[in-house]
Amino acid sequence: MASAMLYPLAGIVPPEVRRELASRTEKAKREQDSRHSLYGNQLPRARLNSRNFFLRFTRSSESSGSDQRRELWKERYLAPPNFISPADHLPPGHELQWPIWKSLNRLRVQVGRCRDNLARWGFFDPSQVQCQCGVPSQDMRHLLSCLACTTTCTFNDLYEANERAVQVAKYWSDKI
């Protein structure tokens, strides 16, 4: 799940979407551009059953590249429904200082150096996962409402990178 969240946070279209679009563009050129070397040619017969010529299974491109790229990315998007929507630009908060930006993104994807994760990864004694605020378990969700931090926030705050989320990320920036 966290890997699906990585691409919207980085503002980069996933490789499988880029490959699909390149295949569609190549097929459209082959079918529509008389200057293309394969224009009007029949597809070669498959010599081996294990080999599949990509033009047999690819649809032709109908719309412009950026619109089609965005539509295909949203269609294949696997992250939570309320997460940052796929776009070719960085999400809100990218102008923050690096430690705060990093902490904000770790809180967004729920992967960071909280005590539960450190214990799971073998860097921390599992019997000592108690948070400094007294809660028996310190997981990434707890960090949003931990009493040790003066501010609390929600996931929507994190996705919008509003002042509450920035304050929470700033507090945890040197800890997670």
Mean per-residue pLDDT pooled into runs of 10, the chain (176 residues) = 77 85 79 73 70 63 68 76 78 93 92 90 86 88 92 92 95 92
Query: Alpha-carbon Rg of the chain, whole angstroms?
Result: 23
Give buried/exposed letters for 26-56 (b at 16+ CB in 10 A, else e). bbbbbeeeeeeeeeeeeeeeeeeeeeeeeee
Give exposure, 58-77, as e/b (b: 16+ Cβ within 10 Å): beebeeeeeebbbebbeeeb
Instruction: Please write the tens of the pLDDT for every residue from 135-168.
Output: 888 999 999 999 999 999 999 999 999 999 999 9
Token look-up 């040790």 returns: 148
pLDDT at 102: 94
Rounded Cα distance between 160 and 10, Å, is: 15
The per-residue pLDDT for 51 is 66
**Tokens read off for 161:** 């990178």
Burial of 106 (0-12, 13-18, 19+ CB in 10 A): buried
Q: Are 79 and 8 in contact (CB under 8 A)?
A: yes
Is this structure's pTM higher than 0.75?
no
Helices (H), the chain: 2-10, 15-32, 54-57, 65-75, 98-109, 115-120, 140-143, 155-160, 163-172
| pLDDT at position 58 | 65
User: CA separation (Å) from 117 to 20, 97, 156, 157?
Assistant: 36, 25, 23, 23
Indicate the DSSP class of residue 157: H
Domain locations in the chain as residue ranges = 2-75, 98-172
* pLDDT value of residue 52: 65
Task: Give the model's pLDDT for residue 68.
Answer: 76
